[in-house]
Every structure is written in structure tokens, then in C-alpha cells.
Amino acid sequence: MDRLTEMEAFATVVDQGGFTDAAKKMGISKSAVSKHVSSLEARLGARLLNRTTRRVSPTEIGLAYYDRARRVLNDAGEADALVTSMQSAPSGLLRISVATDFGVNHLSPVLGEFLTEFPDITVNMVLNNRYVELISEGFDMAIRVGELEDSSLRARKIAETTRRMVGSPAYFNKFGRPSRIDDLNEHKLLHYSSQASGNVWKVPAPSGEVRQVRTAGWLSVNDGQSLLNAAIAGLGIAYLPSFLYADALEKGQVEDAIPDLPQDVQGIYAVYPPGRFTQPKVRAFIDFLVSAFADKGPDSW
């Protein structure tokens, strides 16, 4: 006999408290349920159930076996559900949280292609510069840059970016260019107020250590594009990801403040709530982003 069927019959008898109700639950005859359980006991060489005229209950061995059997049956059911899920067409409302600058400059330009490829998905992209709680706020996923703090979320890297300290040529002509990290204390630093590390830059040093630079006191903005605009205007030095500064750097609007520092390469991640299976609509969008950003190196945005 099929082992899973035997397990299911036994576990259902325990769940339902008897053979009659188990037979109704499984949609088979009472004698068939009894036959499956007897076959299981014979194969294991152990009595799993105490049978009386009034009730059926698991033996000590039966209870231990039930715990493992129920887990096996649940895993088998989830495996079947996974295949069904992967074969079903992605559909439904997809709610995404993303920082304004990345959403405007890089996510929104590729949404048309995604929606054309998956016409049964409706996208609600929410642009904000705060940390959202995915589950409590009803988001299916978010795009986050840098070190991930919430380990309970699942994550997949979709691209990489390099952070650099940049300022305008006019600023460096007026205030000089820092040659080492300690020199930053004498400069006007533009602070991204929504970053998790507070008013501190974590800067890789040539020695391999990560130095902390305090940035409070000059200009604080909760939007990366606004910080870049301030740097271009000569208001100070900003520590920005390449997906923001790359175009301005190429045009000569900003320059690398300390070119000799090691690269600060950070991941760009799609994060989504934990669970054994990923929703088809979420998996489809993440796969799409990985493909869409495949040609984007850390410095090639």
C-alpha cells in the first residue's frame, strides 16, 4: 500500500477521533480506513491505536508517530501547492514600497514592459522615503538599498550600487577637497535624514575598517534626489548611491570627493514577507527586475 495513504488514514483517525468520521473526511469507506491503518501497524510492527467500542485514541508510540506523520503530510501538501502555484499565471494587485528617487528614476521606466508581459497584474507603487512595515501596512514587497536590518523578511538581490561622497567643482574650488576621511569634519556635509544609521556616514577606510562620520548641522533632507541637487548647487558634500549620482558625475556636475577611498558597494534588494512559498505575482516582478537591471553594474547606472 501507499505509505502516504496509510499515514493519512492513521492521522485522520487521530484527528477525527474515530474510523467513521475519518472515512467521511477522506471520502472512502470505513473498512478502507481500517485496512490502511492495519497495514501501517503491520508494516511498522507496532500498535498505534487503542480501539474500544466507544473511542479510538493513539498509543504512546502512536502519538509520537502521529506528530512526525502529520508534518510529512503537511509538507507533501505544501509541495503540491508549490507546483500548482508555480504553474498558475501571476495575477492580482501588487503593492510595492520604494524610495522616491529609485522609483522615479529606475523603477517607473520599466513598469510598462512588466505590465505588458503580465496583463493580469495591477501595480500600486507607493513612493516614500521611510521604512515601511510590509505586513501591517499591506505591502507585497519593497525595494531597499544597503544592509538589511529585518532578518525576518525574505530578500533577493536585484542589482548593486556604489556609494560615493560627491560635491560640485564650485564647492571644491571654494572650500578645497578633502584628502582623507578626517578632513570631512571641516566640510559642509549633506545628510540623508531617512537613513537607518541616523546622522552618521559609515565610510570604508583604506585600512579596511569602517569609519563613522557625523553629518548633523548643515543640511538634512529625506530625499536622495534633493541631496544630489544640493550637491550640484555647491551646498556641500553628499554621500549617495551611483543610481543617483552617475549621470551628474558623467556630466561633470559633481566630482568624487576622495577618489582614493575603497569602493562602498551595496546591494539593492527586493524584500517580501516570510513564508514557505512566494506569491506568483511577487516572484514574477522580482524575476523581471533581475533581468531588467542585469546590465547595471555598481557604477553603471
pLDDT block averages, 10 residues each, the chain of length 301:
88 92 93 94 94 86 94 86 74 94 94 96 93 88 86 90 96 95 93 73 90 84 93 96 95 96 94 83 96 90 86
pLDDT for position 197: 58
Contact status, residue 100 vs residue 228, Cβ threshold 8 Å: no
Say if residue 78 is in the same domain as residue 138.
no
Q: Which helix (H) or strand (E) holds 269?
A: strand 264-272
Q: Which helix (H) or strand (E) holds 57?
A: strand 56-58
pLDDT for position 234: 96
CATH code where residue 63 lies:
1.10.10.10
Instruction: Please say which residue of 87, 110, 145 terminates a domain.
Output: 87
pLDDT for position 83: 76
Closest CA to 246 of 301, 192, 293, 298: 301
CATH code where residue 299 lies:
3.40.190.290
Say if residue 301 is in the same domain as residue 152.
yes
3-state secondary structure 70-95: HHHHHHHHHHHHHHHHHHCCCCEEEE
Instruction: Please write the tens of the pLDDT for every residue from 193-216.
Output: 866 556 889 999 998 899 999 887
Give me the amino acid identity at 122.
T
Closest CA to 56 of 5, 14, 7: 14
pLDDT for position 150: 63
Say if residue 102 is in the same domain as residue 76.
no
Structural domain total, the chain: 2
First vs last Cα of the chain: how many Å apart?
Answer: 60
Backbone angles phi, psi at 260, to 5 degrees: -80, -5
Say if residue 170 is in the same domain as residue 270.
yes
Say if residue 112 is in the same domain as residue 63.
no
User: Which domain, by its residues, includes 157?
Assistant: 91-301
Say if residue 65 is in the same domain as residue 210.
no
Tell me the sheet residues that pair with 124: 95
Q: For cell 578633502, name the residue.
A: 178
Say if residue 235 is in the same domain as residue 257.
yes
pTM greater than 0.85: no
Say if residue 286 is in the same domain as residue 169.
yes
